[in-house]
Amino acid sequence: MGTHPTDTDTGTAPGGGLDLDGLLRRGTARDWRTVDPDDVDPVRFAVIGLGWFTRGRALPALADSDYCEPAVMVSGSPGKAERVAADHDAVAVTYDEFLEGAAVEAYDAVYVVTPNALHLDYCRAAAEFGKAVLCEKPLERDSERAAELVEACADVPLYVGYRMQTEPAVRRARELVRAGYVGEPQAVQGSMTQRLLDRIDPNPDQWRLDEGLAGGGALFDLGVYPLNTTRFLLDADPVAAVGRTKATHDAFDEVDETASFTLQFPGDVDAHCFVSHNARHGSRLAVVGTEGRVAVEPAFFQDDDRVLHVSAGDTETSIRFDRVDQMREEFDYFADRLRSGEPMYADGEHGLFDVRAMEAIYESEATGGWVAIE
Amino acid sequence: MGTHPTDTDTGTAPGGGLDLDGLLRRGTARDWRTVDPDDVDPVRFAVIGLGWFTRGRALPALADSDYCEPAVMVSGSPGKAERVAADHDAVAVTYDEFLEGAAVEAYDAVYVVTPNALHLDYCRAAAEFGKAVLCEKPLERDSERAAELVEACADVPLYVGYRMQTEPAVRRARELVRAGYVGEPQAVQGSMTQRLLDRIDPNPDQWRLDEGLAGGGALFDLGVYPLNTTRFLLDADPVAAVGRTKATHDAFDEVDETASFTLQFPGDVDAHCFVSHNARHGSRLAVVGTEGRVAVEPAFFQDDDRVLHVSAGDTETSIRFDRVDQMREEFDYFADRLRSGEPMYADGEHGLFDVRAMEAIYESEATGGWVAIE
Extended strands (E) in chain B:
43-48, 68-75, 91-94, 109-112, 132-135, 158-160, 185-195, 240-246, 258-265, 269-276, 278-289, 292-296, 306-312, 315-321, 371-372
All residues of chain A having their beta carbon less than 8 Å from the beta carbon of residue B242 are 242, 262, 369-370
pTM: 0.93
Q: Is residue B153 part of a domain?
A: yes
Question: CATH number of the domain that A274 lies in?
Answer: 3.30.360.10
- Integer Cα distance of A55 and A62 in angstroms: 10
| Whether residue B124 is found in the same domain as residue B188 | no
Residue A196: the pLDDT is 83
Query: What are the pLDDT digits (tens) for A191-241?
Result: 999 998 776 655 655 888 899 999 999 999 999 999 999 999 999 999 999
Rg (alpha carbons) of chain B, rounded to whole number: 20
Residue B203 confidence (pLDDT): 61
Compute the distance between CA of residue A316 and CA of residue A171 in angstroms, rounded to an integer: 19
Residue B320: other Cβ atoms inside 10 A = 10
Task: Let me know if residue A330 belongs to a domain.
Answer: no
Q: Which residues span the domain enclosing A137?
A: 37-160
CB contact under 8 A, A270 and B244: yes
Residues in chain A closer than 8 A to B278 (CB atoms)? 186, 290
| Chain B residues within an 8 Å CB radius of A278 | 186, 290
Is residue A279 less than 8 Å (CB to CB) from chain B? yes
Longest dimension (CA), chain A: 63
Which of A246, A272, A280 lies nearest to residue B272, judging by beta carbons? A272
Question: In this structure, how many other beta carbons lie within 10 angstroms of the beta carbon of residue A216?
Answer: 25
Q: Are residues A225 and A91 part of one domain?
A: no
Residue A261 backbone phi and psi in degrees, to 5: -150, 160
pLDDT number for residue B21? 87
Confidence at residue B14, expressed as pLDDT on a 0 to 100 scale: 44
Contact B312 A280 (CB under 8 A): yes
Same-domain check for residues B182 and B141: no
pLDDT value, residue B17: 56
Nearest CA distance, A136 vs chain B (angstrom): 28
**B258–A contact, CB cutoff 8 A:** yes
Closest alpha carbon to A217 in A271, A145, A275:
A275
Task: Note whether B274 contacts A270, CB cutoff 8 Å.
Answer: yes
**Planar angle of CA A150, A117, A60, nearest 5 degrees:** 85
Nearest-by-CA chain B residue for A186 = B279
Last residue of a domain, one of A160, A176, A199: A160
Please check whether residues A47 and A82 belong to one and the same domain: yes
CB contact under 8 A, B246 and A268: yes
Report the amino acid identity of residue B8. Answer: T
Q: What is the 3-state secondary structure (H, E, C) of B99-142?
A: HCCCCHHHCCEEEECCCHHHHHHHHHHHHHCCCEEEECCCCCCC
- For A229-240, the DSSP string reads HHHHHHT---SE
Using CB atoms, pick whichever of B282, B288, B289 lies closest to residue A288: B282
Q: CB–CB of A260 and B262 under 8 A?
A: yes
User: Distance (Å, rounded) from C-alpha A98 to C-alpha A121?
Assistant: 11
Residues of chain B contacting residue A244, judged by C-beta atoms under 8 Å apart? 268, 270
Which H or E run contains A143?
helix A143-152
In one letter, which amino acid is A160? V
User: What does the pLDDT read at residue A231?
Assistant: 98
**Is A116 an interface residue toward B (CB < 8 Å)?**
no
Is A132 within a domain?
Answer: yes
**Listed residues B160, B185, B206: the one ending a domain:** B160
- The pLDDT value recorded for residue A205 is 52
The predicted-structure confidence for A275-297, as pLDDT tens digits, reads as follows 999 999 999 999 999 999 999 99
For residue A354, tell me if it sits in a domain: yes
Q: Do B144 and B222 share a structural domain?
A: no
In 3D space, the residue among A133, A87, A16, A184 whose CA is nearest the CA of residue B278 turns out to be A184
Mark yes or no for CB contact A312/B258 under 8 Å: no
Quote the percentage of chain A above a pLDDT of 90: 86
Q: Do A274 and B258 touch (CB under 8 A)?
A: no
Q: Do B290 and A279 touch (CB under 8 A)?
A: yes
Boundary of a domain, candidates A141, A160, A179: A160
CA dihedral A253, A254, A258, A264 (to 10 degrees): 150
Band (A20; pLDDT cuts 50, 70, 90)? confident
Q: Which of B195, B280, B312 sits opposite A293 (nearest CB)?
A: B280
The answer to whether the Cα torsion of A298, A302, A305, A311 is positive or negative is positive
- B274–A contact, CB cutoff 8 A: yes
Residue-wise pLDDT tens digits, A32-84: 999 999 999 999 999 999 998 999 999 999 999 999 999 999 999 999 999 99
CATH number at residue B98: 3.40.50.720
Q: Both A75 and A179 in a single domain?
A: no
Interface test with A, best of B181, B186, B263 (most A CBs within 10 A): B186
Chain B residues touching residue A242 (CB < 8 angstroms): 242, 262, 369
- Quote the number of domains for chain B: 2
Instruction: Tell me, yes or no, whether B102 and B177 share the same domain.
Output: no
Predicted pLDDT at B313: 83
- How many CB atoms within 10 Å of residue B352? 24
A155 and A172, same domain (yes or no)? no
Q: For A306-351, how does the pLDDT look when each residue is reduced to its tens digit (9 = 90+)?
A: 999 999 888 999 999 999 999 999 999 999 999 999 999 899 999 9
Closest CA in chain B for residue A249: B290
Residue in chain A nearest B186 by alpha carbon: A279
Q: Which of A262, A264, A276, A283 to mutate to test the interface with B (most CBs of B within 10 A)?
A: A262
Q: Alpha-carbon distance B137 to B221, whole Å?
A: 8
Q: What percent of chain A has pLDDT over 70?
A: 93
Q: Does B193 contact A288 at a Cβ distance shorter than 8 Å?
A: yes
* Cβ density class B209-246: b for 16+ within 10 Å, e for less: bbeebbbbbbbbbbbbbbbbbbbbbbbbbbbbbbbbbb
Cβ pairs bridging A and B (under 8 Å): 116
- Are residues B135 and B119 in contact, defined by beta-carbon separation less than 8 angstroms? yes
Determine the distance in angstroms separating the CA of B245 from the nearest CA of chain A, rounded to an integer.
Answer: 8
* Average pLDDT value for chain A: 93
Q: Are residues B187 and B282 in the same domain?
A: yes
Q: Establish if A328 belongs to a structural domain.
A: no
CB A54 within 8 A of CB A85: no
Residues in chain B with CB shorter than 8 Å from the CB of A273 are 272
CA distance A296 to A293: 10
Do both A73 and A118 map to the same domain? Answer: yes
According to DSSP, the residues that pair with A326 across neighbouring strands are: none
Distance (Å, rounded) from C-alpha A228 to C-alpha A237?
9
Chain centre to alpha carbon of residue A242: 22
Whether A282 has its CB under 8 Å from any CB of chain B: the answer is yes
Per-position b or e across B71-107, b if 16+ CB within 10 A of its CB: bbbbbeeeebbeebbeebebbbbbbeebbeebbbeeb
Q: Rounded to a whole number, what is the distance in Å from the CA of A186 to chain B's nearest CA?
A: 7
> Do the beta carbons of residue A13 and residue A22 sit within 8 Å?
yes
What residues of A are in contact with residue B290 (Cβ under 8 Å)? Answer: 195, 278-280
> How distant, in Å, are the alpha carbons of A2, A66, A183 from that of A5?
9, 25, 21
Q: What is the DSSP letter of A220?
A: I
Going by the DSSP 8-state scheme, the letter that residue B369 receives in this structure is B
Eight-class DSSP state of B338: H
**Distance, in angstroms, between B371 CA and closest chain A CA?**
9
Q: Does A280 touch chain B (CB under 8 A)?
A: yes
B80's enclosing H/E stretch is: helix B78-87
Put simply, the answer to whether A280 touches B242 (Cβ < 8 Å) is no
- pLDDT mean values, one per 10 residues, chain B (374 residues): 45 56 91 96 97 94 96 96 96 98 98 97 98 98 98 98 97 95 96 85 71 95 98 98 94 94 98 97 97 96 93 91 96 98 95 98 97 95
A97 CB-contact burial (10 Å; exposed 0-12 / middle 13-18 / buried 19+): middle
Say if B262 is an interface residue toward chain A (CB within 8 Å).
Answer: yes
Query: Residues B89, B234: one domain?
Result: no
pLDDT for A161 equals: 97
A266 interaction partners in chain B (CB closer than 8 Å):
none
Query: Looking at the complex, does the CB of residue B247 fall below 8 Å from at least one CB of chain A?
Result: no
- Among A177, A188, A246, A274, the strongest candidate for a mutation testing the B interface, having the largest count of B CBs within 10 A, is A274
Q: Evaluate the omega torsion of the peptide bond into residue B202 and state whether it is cis, within 30 degrees of 0.
A: yes
Domain contains A74: yes
Shortest CB distance from A193 goes to which of B193, B272, B288?
B288
Rg value, chain A, Cα: 20
Helix (H, G, I), strand (E, B) or coil at B288: strand
Q: Is B292 on the interface with A (CB under 8 A)?
A: yes
Residue B91 identity (one-letter amino acid) = V
CB-nearest partner of A290 from B183, B278, B290: B278
Tell whether the model's pLDDT for residue A360 goes beyond 70.
Answer: yes
Residue of A191, A270, A277, A309 to mutate, testing the B interface (most B Cβ within 10 Å of its Cβ): A270
Q: What is the pLDDT of residue B33?
A: 96
Are B260 and A187 an interchain contact pair (Cβ–Cβ within 8 Å)? yes
d(CA B279, CA B310): 26
- Å between B46 CA and nearest CA of chain A: 37
Is A137 part of a structural domain of the chain? yes
Same domain for B188 and B306: yes
Q: Is B181 helix (H, G, I), strand (E, B) or coil?
A: coil
Domain-embedded: residue A327? no
Inter-chain residue contact B280 with A311, CB threshold 8 Å: yes
pLDDT of residue A8: 46
Cα A131 from Cα A338, distance rounded (Å)? 11
Residue A42, SS3? coil
Residues 6+ positions from B303 with CB-CB distance below 8 Å: none
Mean pLDDT of A264-278: 97
In the chain, the amino acid numbered B165 is: Q
Q: Where are the alpha helices (DSSP H) in B132-223?
A: 143-152, 168-178, 196-200, 211-214, 218
